[in-house]
Structure 1
Amino acid sequence: MQNKLPLYIFLSLVLLLVLAAGALYMGVYEFEKHSFFAIFQAIFNNDSSIPDSDKYVLLELRLPRIVMSILVGSALAVSGTCLQGMFKNPLASPDLIGITSGAMLFAAVSIVLGSHFKPYIPEVFHFSMLSIAAFLGALLTMTIVYRISTSNGKTNVVVMLLSGVAITAISFATTGFLIYLSKEEQLRDLTFWNLGSLGGATWTKNAILAAIILIAFSFLITKGKALNAMMLGERDAQHLGVPVEKIKKKIVVLTALLVGTCVAFSGNIGFIGLIVPYILRLLFKSNYHIILPMSAIFGSILLLTADTISRTIVPPSEIPIGILTAFMGAPIFIAILIRNKKSM
């Protein structure tokens, strides 16, 4: 099966490209009998026959949004896959163990109280203050959950989930208090982040996301065999020459970085890190050498599909994408609980 990995990746990438091309045409705005290939050609040739509205919708609205859905979906899916491998449990996704909530809380603090902190922060960090806050929230939450639920190298699943529930409850309570204190503009931003949306996609945000994903994936995607060894037990993995503690620390930091950045740019989009590894595990068992690279593509496919549905199902408005992913993820969460209740 491992020998067929390049074929699986190629076919998945073809499917992703087909979906992305279809998503360009789907939406309230209809192009004036021009294909996007013709629009791109007209832009490069300075052809004025293509309406400016077509160019704007394609290049500034739909294409950045499609690219962001691909990047965010990939980051969330790989984060969930790595956490499940590290904790050796299919329930360890960023939203279920509170990482997303922690990032959301710090992002909310940055939105509502950021003006009070700015005088004490170097000016170079003002633009990225929200992203830094979301990352710190995700990292702090990840560290707390890991410390609480892990003892002698073994993770107590019930404790992990309950600590995630507790952190989520604290985060929602504090965010609710911040909503009470917020002004009208801040309230709109908080609503956007709580429900999740890719409507704020820009090329600048995509460039930042792509850079962070490239850095994180350069380490995470290559650790499939190490995670396979860790599934046997951390002592056995160490005997096989796997630097377990070093890998775990890097997974904690890099998944927090990925989740924090995604929350900062797209808000609360849950269950991607649960759905994708679950589906891939049904297809490829628990072989992380295959699951990790495939999750990077399938996460993009899932979120791109969900986002396309969210902005086309009730035109001209759109359903917050976090609601759609929750509807998809909750039944799978229940299915995992039923399937693993004996081992838990």
Structure 2
Amino acid sequence: MQRYPKLYFGILILLLVGTIIMAIDFGAVPIHIHEMYSALLHAIKNDAPLNIHEAVFLEIRLPRVLLCAITGGILAASGVMMQGLFRNPIVEPGLIGTSAGAAFGASFIFVLSDILPFWLQRFSGILLVPVFAFVGSVLATVLVYTLAKSVNRVSVTNLLLIGIAVNAIALSGTGFLSFISRDPQARSITFWNLGSFAGASWLQILITAIVTLPVMILLLRYANQLNALMLGDKEAGYLGVHTERLKWQILLLNTAMVAIATAFVGVIAFVGLIVPHMMRLLIGGNNRTLLPAAFLSGAILLTVADIAARLLIAPGEIPIGIITSLVGAPVFIILLKQTQLLQKGGSYD
């Protein structure tokens, strides 16, 4: 695979297209390919859907699947950047407070939205929860960056340690809000923290895509510099990389991308952890090819997980975070064992 990256990308694209078609087809209302084609033609002509199948395809199934694929790609690409920045293959995007801050922001709205000014609630409308989740995500991450900064430089070790502390604070706040909430509010907090694409809409896709596309283009521009950074700060500096500026640029871009995705769908674990690790084993550590490969693989993985979430207890639905954690944790342990990252030297044997 490392010798034939173009072939590998072709396979990933075909797998993604096939997975998306399967995800649209499977569900309480089966939608076949000819119905998808007919619905798209009517949408292009601005005609009304002919039947319930076309309506479900255009208004429910297609936006859900597309948002799922984009989110999976975002989380996986973010994992690549964070693992490259920390020079550690077991780092995940939520490590620096992004996910925990989003959870606190969303929980605040679920429990205390009544104390907000009426004009703010009316202005935000249906985006009130995503807006506060996004704000909480950004604030938590900025707090980590600010506290980790020392003498005009950002220490990766400080980011890691302070990120753990800020995560703990945000999770404590979410726990307190759950404690004082009523049963329906507590249930909303629980389900949001487990992730779901049930409320996907075209507006969410538009906003997410507007943020993701330019961020991914910029990240690809920094891929070679990140390759140099993985050698060490001093070595990257000798190669002409402005390491401190690069760290800030990657962190800001990563935060924007993850925050907007998390704000709409909730917290989804393990995608940003296991996908980059698996892709690194398959195609190597060159971030210029690893980043787009991880994006495509993350989209495939999360779309498959969403199919399982919808079908395993149909007509009910399992929160997708349960699926990703249930599958991701054992896979990650296996990967750690195979790559000998679990060293015997730290054991009590």
Report the equivalent of 1:104: 103
> What code does the residue aligned with 1:139 have?
V
1:320 paired with 2:327, answer no
Partner deviation per Cα, 1:67-105 (whole Å, 9 max, x = no partner): 100111111111111111111111221235543112211
* 1:330/1:7 CA distance change after superposition, 3 Å: same
How many residues in Structure 1 have an aligned counterpart in Structure 2? 341
Q: Supply the distance in 2 between the matched residues of 1:22 and 1:83 (Cα, whole angstroms).
A: 31
| Amino acid corresponding to residue 30 of structure 1 in structure 2 | P
Q: Secondary structure at the match of 2:117?
A: helix
Q: Give the drift of 1:297.
A: 0.9
Counterpart in the other structure of 1:88:
87
Identity %: 36
Query: Could you tell me which residue of structure 2 aligns to residue 194 of structure 1?
Result: 193
AA matched with 1:22: M
- Secondary structure of 1:229's counterpart equals helix
Which amino acid letter does the alignment assign opposite residue 10 of structure 1? G
Counterpart amino acid of 1:238?
G
- TM-score, normalised to structure 1, is 0.86
C-alpha deviation, 1:146, in angstroms: 5.3
Report the Cα distance in structure 1 between the residues aligned to 2:251 and 2:299, rounded to whole angstroms: 22
Q: Name 2:67's counterpart in structure 1.
A: 68
Amino acid across the alignment from 1:11: I
Matched, 1:242 2:241: yes
Amino acid aligned to 1:261: I
Q: Is the 8 A contact 1:230 1:237 kept in 2?
A: yes
Partner of 2:307: 308
The answer to whether residue 26 in structure 2 is matched with residue 26 in structure 1 is yes
CA contact (8 A) 1:102 1:141 kept: yes
Q: Equivalent residues in 2 for 1:289-304 (5 A)?
A: 289-304=288-303
TM-score normalised per structure 2: 0.85
Instruction: Please state how far the C-alpha of 1:286 moved relative to its aligned partner.
Output: 1.7
Deviation at 1:316, TM superposition (A): 0.6
Give distance in 2, aligned partners of 1:174 and 1:48. Answer: 46
Please list the CA deviations of residues 275-295 of structure 1 after superposition, one character each: whole Å capped at 9, or x if unmatched.
110101111222112111111
**Relative to structure 1, is the Cα distance of residues 98 and 211 closer, same or farther in structure 2, using a 3 angstrom cutoff?**
same
Aligned counterparts, 1:33-52, within 5 A? 35-42=35-42, 50-51=50-51
Which amino acid letter does the alignment assign opposite residue 29 of structure 1? V
TM-fit CA distance, 1:273: 0.5
**Which amino acid in the other structure matches residue 35 of structure 1?**
E
Letter in 1 for 2:24: L
Deviations 1:217-276 (A, max 9, x none): 121122221111000111221221222222211221222222221221101111111011
CA separation of 1:218 and 1:314: change in aligned 2, threshold 3 A: same
Report 1:126-205 matches (<5 A). 128-145=127-144, 155-156=156-157, 160=160, 163-183=162-182, 186-205=185-204
Shift of the 37–245 alpha-carbon distance from structure 1 to 2, 3 Å rule, reads same
Please state how far the C-alpha of 1:333 moved relative to its aligned partner.
3.9
Alpha-carbon distance, 1:332 to partner: 3.8
Over 6 Å off, 4+ runs: 45-49, 147-153
Alignment CA distance shift 1:264-1:48 (3 Å): closer
Code of the residue aligned with 2:218 in structure 1: it is: F
1:209 & 1:46 partners in 2: Cα distance? 24
Alignment-mate amino acid for residue 290 of structure 1: T
1:340 alignment partner in structure 2: 341
* Deviation of the 1:28 alpha carbon: 1.4
Q: Is the 8 A contact 1:138 1:257 kept in 2?
A: no
Distance 1:70 1:236, change over 3 A: same
Give the drift of 1:169.
Answer: 3.6
Runs (5+) with no aligned partner, structure 2: none
Corresponding residue number in structure 2 for 1:223: 222
Asked if the contact 2:63–2:200 (Cα under 8 Å) also holds between the matched residues in 1, the reply is yes
* Alignment partner of 1:287 is 2:293: no
- Structure 1 partner of 2:58: 59
Q: Secondary structure at the match of 2:240?
A: coil
Cα distance in 2 for residues equivalent to 1:43 and 1:216: 29
How far apart, CA to CA, are the structure 2 residues paired with 1:122 and 1:319?
30
1:44–1:134 distance in 2 versus 1, CA, 3 Å:
closer
Please say if residues 39 and 58 of structure 2, whose CA atoms lie closer than 8 Å, have aligned partners that are also in contact.
Answer: no
Shift in Å at residue 108 of structure 1? 1.5
1:206 deviates by 0.7
Rounded to whole Å, the distance in 2 between the matches of 1:189 and 1:90 is 33
Aligned counterparts of 2:43 and 2:280: Cα–Cα separation in 1: 44
Structure 1 match to 2:270: 271
